[in-house]
Amino acid sequence: MRALELNYDGFIEKNIVPLGINVDQPFSKSAWAKVINIKKLQMLSDYNPLGEVAKAYGLFLEKLNASGRANILIDEKGKIEWVETYEISETLILKKCFIKLINYKS
């Protein structure tokens, strides 16, 4: 989430709205956002029903009761343009995402 926050303006310049989403409860998400200094990024909760959005995208990890990590680009019509998944222990790499955006928006 912090990487999305740090690159937020770059997304907005390309007319793209970045969102962070996971299965944390809204109140814990709000507290966590303060701790990691999230000011611009919209952080959405997929808590109730648990993981419904993650399940729809095939990203819910049943054994962990959590959403997997991924960058997903969805166009204005709701079509998935690109998905990059990561292991829970990996750091999300937004560079790949920006390269895909540059090619898509050109």
**Which domains are delineated in the chain?**
2-105 (3.40.30.10)
What is the number of alpha carbons within 13 Å of residue 81 lying toward its C-beta? 13
Q: Is the pTM of this model over 0.95?
A: no
SS3 content of the chain, % helix, strand, coil (to 5): 35, 25, 40
Is 105 a residue whose pLDDT tops 60? no
pLDDT band at 62 (very low <50, low <70, confident <90, very high): very high
> What integer best gives the mean pLDDT of the chain?
86
pLDDT of residue 85: 86
* 55, 62 contact by CB (below 8 A): no
pLDDT of residue 102: 66
Q: What is the mean pLDDT of residues 32-60?
A: 94
Q: What is the mean pLDDT of residues 30-50?
A: 93
For residue 87 the two structure tokens come to 């292991």
